[in-house]
Amino acid sequence: MSSVSIIGPALNGIIPVICVVLAGLACMLAEAFRQRGERMPIGGLGVIGLAGAAVAVVLLWGRRAESFSVVRADDFGLFVQLVLIGVGLLTVVFSPKAIERDNLPAGEYYSLILFALAGMMLMAVATDLLVIFLALEVFSLALYVLTGLRRAEYSSTEGAFKYFVLGGFASAFFLYGIAFTYGLVGSTRLDKVASAVQAQALTGDPLLLVAMGLLLVGLAFKVAAVPFHMWTPDAYEAAPTVVTGFMSTAVKAAGFAVFTRVFLLALEPLRAEWTPVLWVLAVCTMILGSAVGVAQTNLKRMLAYSSIAHGGYLLVALAAGDEVGRASILFYLVVYAVTNIGAFAVLALLGTRERPMETLDEYKGLWHASPVMAGLLTIFLLSLGGFPPTAGFVAKWYVFSAAVRAGQFSLAIIGVLTSVVSVFFYLRIVVMMYMTEKGEAAATPAVPGSALAALSLSAAVLFYLGVLPTRVLDLAARSVASMF
């Protein structure tokens, strides 16, 4: 098929990223020209940019457009970009109330969100380790600032500083891994790394194993895998709640996109060496995320450990590595993105400056005060717990099925058991909302109509994917196949 040519053949593969970057620049300019106290729909500029990026992704689908030999917009990368665009649109829709409540600079906020998305979208289609590193740093710097955007709050600044320091160490590990890889094979392009490792019989080279380990540390930090998870609870609690939802979903999508490319493409010849390591990481991540989450009374910290546990389930699919496992990664990312950002959005929309709605006690009797929001939060929590007929059940089913098909029976059993444990802290919130007397949730703020519509659509998507997942699963399988 002929390639799409909107700006130029060399830029075809990064047209969606360019759309998002231009939207971010537009938000910055709008903030610069906005008069003090003037209300300006800056978020609308973000919606326009993200819509343009979505159109570009659709036009590029199936064409494998390349840019400068280091970016390839194959269907796998475009699928992840669509997930990221969806997360970005939901974040923008849920943000106005949070911006007003926390008195955040709207232009700065939206531009940082969009620049972070641009870095993640570039990361999803990058086929060169150096480009992956640059994209990683672009979105990481934006997230550090977003985490500490509530500058007047000490906890926000502290959480951002911890995230920045630990993120800097993780980036250094990843960069050293790139340096070792280049020194051994003479290239940082993923296809050339794979060819060199196979052709030169480097599979037993200790320096290559060191390079693989360093790359693994950098990526494991980004997806909050144990023992590189220590930043997650503090950063999630410190950031504005909508930003926390954005971080927990978009970073996972971009991180596992790179994880899949690097380990199932470039380092595929080393599968015998990295599979046991991923096995251990997956087990530790699932166990710690589920066990420590049970002890939390702060909902943002509880959902942080929930995010860690879900990263473990994705590592299970990655360790399986077969066709079902690869497809289940993409399907799981879709389900997790919709579910988790919906849960955090409910927390953000119900919270006020005086009562942030972050502790369990604040949800007592929420059903009496706001039955719609209680019902929506219940749907998201049940999907996180893997209850049918929500999409969370189907996503976990395919992940554990992939582990069984690959002969990883113990990994599948541990995954199921930790998933059962995690059900406790999801249902505990549901019990608080429905089976206790009216508490502090007796008076809840009004929810904007656009946000309520987005939440309702998200809940509908979860039921649709829980009952009729075949189309999206087939699309995910075809998208992963385009990577090879």
Query: Per-residue DSSP letters for 97-134?
Result: HHHHHHT--HHHHHHHHHHHHHHHHHHHHB-BHHHHHH
Instruction: Using DSSP, state whether 205 is helix, strand or coil.
Output: coil
Does the residue 398 lie in any domain? yes
Please tell me the total number of residues recorded for the chain in this structure.
Answer: 484
Q: Alpha-carbon distance 462 to 441, whole Å?
A: 26
Does the residue 277 lie in any domain? yes
Does the residue 3 lie in any domain? no
Q: Specify whether the CB–CB gap between 28 and 92 falls below 8 A.
A: no
Does the residue 436 lie in any domain? yes
Cα–Cα distance list, 292 to 103, 183, 360, 393, 412 (Å): 33, 41, 16, 22, 20
Which residues are CB-neighbours of 426 under 8 A, at least 6 positions away?
306, 381, 382, 384, 385
- Using CB atoms within 10 A of its CB, is residue 254 exposed (0-12), middle (13-18) or buried (19+)? buried
Q: Alpha-carbon distance 276 to 417, whole Å?
A: 20
Does the residue 2 lie in any domain? no
Does the residue 305 lie in any domain? yes
Domain total of the chain: 1
Does the residue 176 lie in any domain? yes
pTM above 0.85, yes or no: yes
Structure tokens at 472: 């999206």
Q: Specify whether the CB–CB gap between 327 and 398 falls below 8 A.
A: yes
> 81 in the Ramachandran plot: left (φ > 0), alpha (ψ -120 to 50) or beta?
alpha
Does the residue 65 lie in any domain? yes
Q: Specify whether the CB–CB gap between 422 and 429 falls below 8 A.
A: no
Per-residue pLDDT tens listing for the chain (484 residues)? 344 444 556 778 899 999 999 999 999 998 888 776 667 778 899 999 999 999 999 999 988 878 788 899 899 999 999 999 999 999 999 999 888 888 888 889 999 999 999 999 999 999 999 999 999 999 999 999 999 888 878 888 888 998 999 999 999 999 999 999 999 888 899 989 888 887 766 666 788 889 999 999 999 999 999 898 888 998 998 899 999 999 999 999 999 999 999 998 888 888 888 999 999 999 999 999 999 988 888 888 999 999 999 999 999 999 987 788 888 999 999 999 999 999 999 999 988 777 778 888 888 888 888 889 999 999 999 999 999 999 999 999 999 999 999 889 999 999 999 999 999 889 999 988 888 766 555 567 788 889 999 999 999 999 999 999 999 999 999 998 888 7
Q: Alpha-carbon distance 307 to 342, whole Å?
A: 13
Structure tokens at 339: 């579910």
Q: Alpha-carbon distance 482 to 79, whole Å?
A: 11
Radius of gyration of the chain (CA): 21
Q: Alpha-carbon distance 339 to 392, whole Å?
A: 8
| Domain span at 294 | 9-481
Residue 310 CA to its chain's centroid (Å)? 11
**Helical ranges in 370-408 per DSSP H:** 371-385, 391-405
Q: Specify whether the CB–CB gap between 96 and 348 falls below 8 A.
A: no
